[in-house]
Amino acid sequence: MGPVASINLAALRHNQTIIRQLAPRSKIMAVIKADAYGHGFLPVARALQDIDMLAVARVSEGCQLRDAGIDKPILVLEGFSEADEIRQAIEHQLEVVIHQAYQLDLLQSCKPDSELVMWLKVDTGMHRLGISADRAVDTYKKLQSLECCKLPPGLMTHFANADDIHHPSTKQQIQLFDQVAKNFPTYQSMANSAAILAWPETHRDWIRPGIMLYGASPLLGLKASTHQLEPVMTLKSRLMAVNALKEGDCIGYGSTWCCPEDMPVGVIAMGYGDGYPRHAPTGTPVLVNGQRCPLVGRVSMDMITVDLRGVDTEVGDEVILWGDGLPAEEIAESAGTISYELFCGVTSRVRYEYR
Ligand SMILES: *Cc1c(COP(=O)(O)O)cnc(C)c1O
């Protein structure tokens, strides 16, 4: 049996409940872009029965959801960037984010005959997508004058540093947003997961949780369990071999790790070809039969090797790479990345199981 990503949909719904409790006056837009952060966006969308809205990054993702029969409101966070995407958005009843002036030109030139629900994104300091604060009112008025614009558009922004609870820029972004927002009689949306947890004043009308739905903490140095969130994905495999190696035997490509004494070393069917991070160093923990063991040597495409000293185990035993009992945040930190990237990186070779 090869690697399995076991997806716990009850944990997903539990996390949704925690989010509701954290922001009881806000509606929830569940962010399920990038295949629901690698969890599988159709099963996730179907499991989120009483969510208010779904959000994806691209028009193509929204179309896939609609074609699969998902009938919740869907917002496309990156909006459209060509006329054809406007037509697709209308045909699939997707709501879109307007974040650049050229999108207005596209709307004016293609004159859609059906209405499109639009959200206006203001750049308050992320400096990626968004209309600058001083142009927001002007852009809003132009939007209002378009026949295809279904009013009122929502107003949104995105934080650059909400994951760092001491960073001063979040307060500045909130202030700038509020200055702009007082001119708009419309819905407001600012908070990603980090802001939902750390910045309650950002909850407003709509919150946009992504990573916390999947049971990982976005806050630097914290684990999801601190927030009562449960991991949704558990990445598992099996022990394929237990080798009794001798002192001085070196393991794997580059022979980067050598046994300090005679010892058992386990081989696990899991490698970077499955999405396990190649840069995970010696010492990164793995759960073998429920017991923590350190990875030793390099991560290969199909295998990793672990130090089994003091561990009671045999070939065929279950191994957990992250998830239940081993937070993805811990593995991410060890490998110099973030849980988001670990989840998105699980490859199609891994079998998905939904429970
Ligand atoms: C991805 C994304 C989110 C969700 O962010 P998390 O950190 O996963 O909660 C929210 N808003 C926008 C605009 C996004 O692109």
Distance CA 127, CA 129 (A): 6
Whether 143 and 288 share a structural domain = no
Can you give the pTM of this predicted structure? 0.96
Distance CA 208, CA 33 (A): 12
Q: How far is the CA of 28 from the centre of ligand 1 (A)?
A: 12
Query: Does 115 lie in the same domain as 167?
Result: yes
Q: How far is the CA of 31 from the centre of ligand 1 (A)?
A: 6
Q: Which of 54, 77, 214 to mutate to test the pocket of ligand 1 (most atoms within 8 A of CB)?
A: 77
Final residue of a structural domain among 165, 188, 216? 216
Whether 1 is covered by a domain: the verdict is: no
- The pLDDT, as a whole number, for residue 184 is 82
Report pLDDT digits (tens) over 74-103: 999 999 999 999 999 999 999 999 999 999
- Decide if 277 is inside a domain: yes
Cis bond upstream, residue 152 (ω within 30):
yes
* Whether the CB of 99 sits within 6 Å of ligand 1: no
The answer to whether residue 302 is domain-embedded is yes
Q: How far is the CA of 56 from the centre of ligand 1 (A)?
A: 9
Catalytic residues: 33, 253
CA distance linking residue 306 with residue 200, whole number of Å: 42
Q: Is residue 223 part of a domain?
A: no
Q: Do residues 173 and 129 both lie within one domain?
A: yes
Q: Which of 68, 43, 28 is nearest to 355 (CA)?
A: 43
The confidence score (pLDDT) of residue 207 equals 98
- Give the C-alpha separation, 125 to 173, whole Å: 6
> Which H or E element spans position 306?
strand 303-307
Cβ neighbours, 10 Å, residue 223: 15
Q: Specify whether 81 is located in the same domain as 210.
A: yes
Please tell me the predicted confidence (pLDDT) of residue 146: 87
Ligand 1 atom at shortest distance from the alpha carbon of 33: 1
- Does a structural domain hold residue 4? no
User: Which residues, including other chains, have CB under 8 Å from residue 58's CB and lie 6 or more apart?
Assistant: 33, 76, 78
Residue 292 amino acid letter: R
> Among 158, 188, 216, where does a domain finish?
216
Portion of the chain with pLDDT greater than 90, in percent:
90
DSSP for residue 225: G
| Domain housing 298 | 233-354
* Whether 100 and 197 share a structural domain: yes
Same domain, 275 and 211: no
Cα 304 from Cα 181, distance rounded (Å): 52
Domain-embedded: residue 278: yes
Assess whether the C-beta atom of 121 lies below 6 angstroms from ligand 1: no
Both 303 and 197 in one domain: the answer is no
Q: Are residue 188 and residue 277 in the same domain, yes or no?
A: no
Please list the alpha-helical segments (H only) found in the chain.
Answer: 9-22, 33-38, 41-47, 59-67, 83-91, 101-110, 136-145, 169-181, 193-198, 328-334, 339-345
Which of 216, 245, 265 is the C-terminal boundary of a domain? 216
Determine, yes or no, domain membership for 89: yes
Is any atom of ligand 1 closer than 6 Å to the C-beta of 215?
no
Domain count, the chain: 2
pLDDT at site 48: 97
Distance 27 CA to ligand 1 centre (A): 15
151 pLDDT band, cuts 50/70/90, is low
CA 47 – ligand 1 centroid, Å: 19
Q: Is 193 in the pocket of ligand 1 (CB under 6 A)?
A: yes
Q: What is the CATH number of the domain that holds 170?
A: 3.20.20.10
pLDDT in tens, 195-205: 999 999 999 99
Task: Looking at the structure, tell me whether residues 212 and 246 fall in a common domain.
Answer: no
The mean-pLDDT minimum among 22-26, 221-225, 290-294 falls in 221-225
Residue 218 in contact with ligand 1 by CB distance below 6 A: yes
**177-192 residue pLDDT tens:** 999 999 888 899 999 9
State whether 288 and 198 are in the same domain: no
Is residue 225 situated within a structural domain? no
**Do 13 and 151 share a domain, yes or no?**
yes
C-beta 323 within 6 A of ligand 1: no
Asked whether residue 190 falls in the same domain as residue 139, the answer is: yes
- CATH number of domain containing 245: 2.40.37.10
